[in-house]
Amino acid sequence: MKAFLTVWLGQLISKFGSQLAGFALSIWVFESTGSTSAFALVSLAAVLPGFLVAPVAGLVADRFAHRWVMFWSDVVGLLCALGAMGLFLMQQADLWTLVVLVVLNSAADTFRTPAWMAATTLMVPKENIGRASGMVQASQALTQLVAPLAAGLLMSVLSMQGVLLIDFASFFIALATLLFVRFAKHVPQKGPAGATWQSELLEGWTYIRSRAG
């Protein structure tokens, strides 16, 4: 449980930083353009990639070490935060560039989620799996609730660069926990002989279609 709690805290901080920066960017876009459509576009860019990438993310989490799926997801998020910070420092930030960075960050975060949930079941004793899974779910809900409130407050006292700096620092904390905590050994799952990722995606879709509820 000690290893799990350490990683859980790092992931909570990282997720909070991402949600914080994402909502702050939406506020900045609205203030800069006065357009509710632009505001909605940034919000959509933060959500839609997760819906589209999730099926592939599940396959990746099955086949690769959970630690490294999470690690590289956080690295991409860190680079996106760094890129956005650079744009603001050079006063080159615009709507479409920011949308691209939000899309990339959202897609990377989608790979992290199934890997983290799968790693949880391997890291903790069986009698604590329910509690650990609840903590993972609660942390995701907490960041979605608190981060927009915090972003609104911080935007009134900090610049956009300051908020992005918080996001940038949060990724370093998450990466440190992933590097220094020992993960349980993960044996990658392999599909049937001759199966491709496309056929496995189709199999998953067929399973859902046959169970409409």
Q: Which domains does the chain have, with CATH numbers?
A: 2-183+192-209 (1.20.1250.20)
| H-helix or E-strand spanning residue 171 | helix 160-180
Contact 120, 130 (CB under 8 A): no
Quickly state the pLDDT bin for 190 (edges 50, 70, 90): low
pLDDT in tens, 73-129: 989 988 998 999 898 888 888 888 889 999 998 898 888 888 888 888 888 888 888
Residue 71 pLDDT greater than 80, yes or no: yes
Residue 161 pLDDT greater than 70, yes or no: yes
Residue 74: closest CA among 179, 165, 208: 179
pLDDT in tens, 44-67: 888 888 888 888 888 888 888 888
The CA-based diameter of the chain, rounded to the nearest angstrom, is: 58
Dist. CA 54–CA 51, nearest whole Å: 6
pTM: 0.80
| H-helix or E-strand spanning residue 114 | helix 95-123
Question: Hey, what amino acid is at 201?
Answer: L
